[in-house]
Chains A and B, each alone.
Chain A
Amino acid sequence: EAQVTQNPRYLITVTGKKLTVTCSQNMNHEYMSWYRQDPGLGLRQIYYSMNVEVTDKGDVPEGYKVSRKEKRNFPLILESPSPNQTSLYFCASSQRGEGYGQPQHFGDGTRLSIL
């Protein structure tokens, strides 16, 4: 089954404690992306990756890091989480970029609470 898998689904942690949210897709997609969703603000893109070793900032990259060492994986790293990063996070992938006509497939989300 084609899917985007995020882990963990829920996490409560404390300020400053480094954490990683994993994202894996089994569709051999080139494009992957991370979004955060906050009430009243919709979905905002954090980082995206066009292919292995190619990443770029989205609209709200501050406080986040990503890496794309393998095509299927695109982890989101919070080196020193702060309470303002409490949010619902979604990973997405698509075949090439959406501008080429391919829709994004989204994971089920990771709810992070930073205390």
Chain B
Amino acid sequence: DAKTTQPNSMESNEEEPVHLPCNHSTISGTDYIHWYRQLPSQGPEYVIHGLTSNVNNRMASLAIAEDRKSSTLILHRATLRDAAVYYCIPIPVRDDKIIFGKGTRLHILP
């Protein structure tokens, strides 16, 4: 399993963009990069995933480095409801196991 490195915590102001980094230098060529987040008192929820190209959805954008050894989750305009622990997880295609790390605890300041 590819190892990931994420900051333990980050802070951002409300209504500003947030860039959450993740290093995954041992990622395999067939691993997809998934991001999940866990809001307080809730189970984790899927945010976004990608392989090589940058990806956008209604929740966030995912920027993947050309060498795939790092990626950045981008929240374009953070709200208080985005305060959560964000997990970056490389997952082999068709694998059914998610190995969670410690993630990044994101604090949003009003």
A binds B: no
